[in-house]
Structure 1
Amino acid sequence: MNVHRKIFAAAGAAALLSAGLTSTALVQAPEAAAAMASDVKSVPVDPVTQLEMHVTANCVTAEGRCYWDTQANLLTPNGPIGFPGDAWARQTVTLRSNDRDTWQEAEYSAPSGMPREVKGANHANVLSKQLKSINSTEISATYFGGGPIERFRIDGTSIPLNWANGQVSLGPTFIACSNIRVVYGGVNLTTPTACAQVKFS
């Protein structure tokens, strides 16, 4: 009987340890996931096609900066694609914090892969500019003509700084939002605004 009790006790301890590890993993998972966030918003183009806007953000404490990217595309039954050749589009990206005393020192590439900009540029018929205010930064990109999906991707970085001391604000939430208006062949649609919210970790 004592042997059986020891076996059951050992099995019970193992089960408790396993459950404890599982619950610890479950508790820690949201913290790990808090370093990155993403959002997708869409609007129907026709019964089988959606116009989508994707936004992703990731803040790295060791670097004191946040990384973000956006992707606009059409979602078809065969997967995501770019836009037709006669397309015209205007995209707005807004970077801000939930702390009104924090401003964004941002740079971006439009389209992704082009040299980083802090004011504005025209790369591959994508005309972009950056407008700064006290506690937010807005990037506007106008696309002349369609093209592959990669042409409609913008990425960049931002350093959230405190107005009072000029130091990096690691506490507040970083928020990256974007929407796009696309016009082509009888289509004239604007996506809802997609927002990714993330804290430093």
Structure 2
Amino acid sequence: MKRLAAASAGALTIAALIAPAHASAAANSATTSIPVDPATSIEMHVNANCVAAENRCFFDTTANLLTPDGPIGFPGDTWARQTITLRSSSRDTWQEASYSAPAGNPRETKGANHENVLSKMYRALNNVEISITYFGGGPIERFKADGDSVPTDWTYGRPDTKSNFYACSQIQVVYGGVNLTTPTACAQTTFS
């Protein structure tokens, strides 16, 4: 009887070791803020999520005012400039990225003007920078951006799923006597 139990336990262990891996993702988020006055602050939120089954990392950002009643959008006289930087922990990794600003618009790889939100993507050898300029205020949804990137190894031309992925963002907001820039919020993740 003891031999049968030992054999069953051994078979279960082997089955567990050779079972196919499930597609999984690794996600991380970061939030920074800067006070406008004792009751209000400007927040920058960044989320990053790398999906191994797709060899792709996704990101999204949101900027808002945080008031005692909760998060709200920005006043009508707002002008703001947001910068999003996508990079890897490997200097040999290129970011093949696209984005939407505001989120929900068609994906861009160069630049666009959607709803008086101007955006432009700048590519470097090992990072991508997205610059978004907002003319006018509005609800929180207007200050959301999202996108994806395939971190690609320059040497082999294949997706780099071993290095860390970073999505960082900050925003400068100007309205009614306010001119403030949030600290940079960085979400760091890996493929799992």
Q: TM-score, normalised by structure 2?
A: 0.87
Residue of 174, 183, 190 corresponding to 1:183: 174
Residue of 160, 166, 176 corresponding to 1:169: 160
Residue of 129, 133, 136 corresponding to 1:142: 133
Alpha-carbon distance in structure 2 between the residues aligned to 1:124 and 1:54:
21
Residue of 45, 54, 74 corresponding to 1:54: 45
2:141 is aligned with 1:155: no
Q: Following superposition, which runs of at least 4 residues in structure 1 exceed 4 angstroms of deviation?
A: none
The Cα of 1:165 is off from its aligned counterpart by 1.3
Residue of 99, 107, 120 corresponding to 1:108: 99
2:114 is aligned with 1:126: no
The Cα of 1:34 is off from its aligned counterpart by 7.5
Alpha-carbon distance in structure 2 between the residues aligned to 1:199 and 1:153:
23
Q: How many residues align?
A: 169
SS, match of residue 120 in structure 2: strand
Question: What's 1:20 paired with?
Answer: none
Alpha-carbon distance in structure 2 between the residues aligned to 1:100 and 1:143:
31
Alpha-carbon distance in structure 1 between the residues aligned to 2:157 and 2:74:
42
Question: Identity of counterpart residues, as a percentage?
Answer: 68
Alpha-carbon distance in structure 1 between the residues aligned to 2:67 and 2:191:
35
Alpha-carbon distance in structure 2 between the residues aligned to 1:166 and 1:176:
22
Higher-Rg member (1/2): 1
- One-letter amino acid of the counterpart of residue 165, structure 2: F
Alpha-carbon distance in structure 1 between the residues aligned to 2:67 and 2:144:
18
Alpha-carbon distance in structure 2 between the residues aligned to 1:170 and 1:86:
43
Structure 1 residues without counterparts, runs of 5 or longer: 1-32
Report if aligned partners of 1:34, 1:198 keep a CA contact under 8 Å in 2. Answer: no
Which string of whole-angstrom CA distances, capped at 9 and with x for unpartnered residues, describes residues 117-139 of structure 1? 00000000000000000000000
Alpha-carbon distance in structure 1 between the residues aligned to 2:96 and 2:72:
32
2:77 is aligned with 1:86: yes
| Two-structure CA RMSD over aligned residues (Å) | 1.0
Question: What's 1:75 paired with?
Answer: 66
